[in-house]
Structure 1
């Protein structure tokens, strides 16, 4: 559905997006992750024709975007970070206005607006001015605008920023439903790692304008040798025993804080229970332990050395 090849965007000597190549398959939910200033929004702006690349190519549905911009816009829906709505208009009038820009008209336009209102669960509020809506409801209308042309490719750039948990959950469920029931290809950028983990089959991690990791969660974990986390609470331990923990096979990093020890461990190298037994055999009296399989947040931290929101 989408292919980027050597995509680059420069402003003078400053490179915002640096030679990125990746492919998003038809029907895939693809996550785009990166800290602020990583180049995600610039990539989205180039894919949605708002910006032109300095070099490289973009293909959407097997067609070059630079050569077929109007044709490709007809099969693409974009949900920008900032709300793009007329607040004095009603929810339905907003959908009708933007739907007309896609070439819809007459009964077909009104029918599609009603369908989208049902999708975003705002049918009962359709005649209410958007200015009266909560932030979460406005976000839902913003998504509705992008759905008016029934796009093959839906791009959502930080769609849940600053909204309440209920609206956030509704948006996530809507995206999942559009993918599963409509077969819509989705590109999803977010600062909320749990959203990407919940929705996305494949993830690209971008930092300083460059693509630094690409794959499924399991592929990323294997490619960077990402570790799981083992946390133990101990009652008593000698300083000598605590110092020996880092030398246990399968333990790659330890952090000791009062009576708690947090370790990065490799379940591929050692069985977790064996690691716990080795800790006990050092003479450390444990009261509890907790094992957490690696998630996208920890993979991102291990790859970039910083959290997503830094």
Structure 2
């Protein structure tokens, strides 16, 4: 039996085709236009999924897993709200997909999906509890514990991106508050932080800051120091509240920070987390990397299909 995994959110859409929910046949990435809305993305996902099935002559599709970059209504099994793409809350995406493909569709948050994929990576197979954080267009989190994602509310949970880390509140968050972790530690947040700290530097992309840091640019070092301070506050809160065995940082920024700035981040975290937990939690870059969301969505769809059969 075949499975499709969908990923929406950020600057790209991903569709992955799998046989038996484990062997990957092919993944296709679609660049999402900055002005795209929910229906545009949904149609692009459907067209790409149908093309994959057609090109590989697949006729036994079992289910679709949809890793959605936003809040998911778990009671309705439906995308709810995306702060970076309008229209999902009024679009019955699951029903549209089920009608188009004639198979059940299972929806979960993209961070939850990525965490499920990370749990199967060799480095994490024996880890009972970890907290996954993605640093991309937004900042999201998922707590994996004892073989599954920890959920407390059908409306969502583990919203690490929306805890307060910048008391000055100089940078607004897409959620409507100011000073959130997402406001200063997402990709767009890093850019806004750069413009706040060094308005005359002419920085137009977050990648310029990370590259400048590697090249020992004075302004970029100062910006990344402030960024790491904010991120360290957030990760200290994760440790204090959940005390996982490890934190996994995903996304391009997550990889950069957890490798290039690892020691600096650890020092900030150790200084701010609950004293009894100091030294007990390690921080690692993601292992599955690109495709983690769509792959995790496939794992989830297969799991749900088996539980409901």
Normalised TM-score (structure 1): 0.27
Structure with larger Rg: 1
Richer in strand (by share): 1
Richer in helix (by share): 2
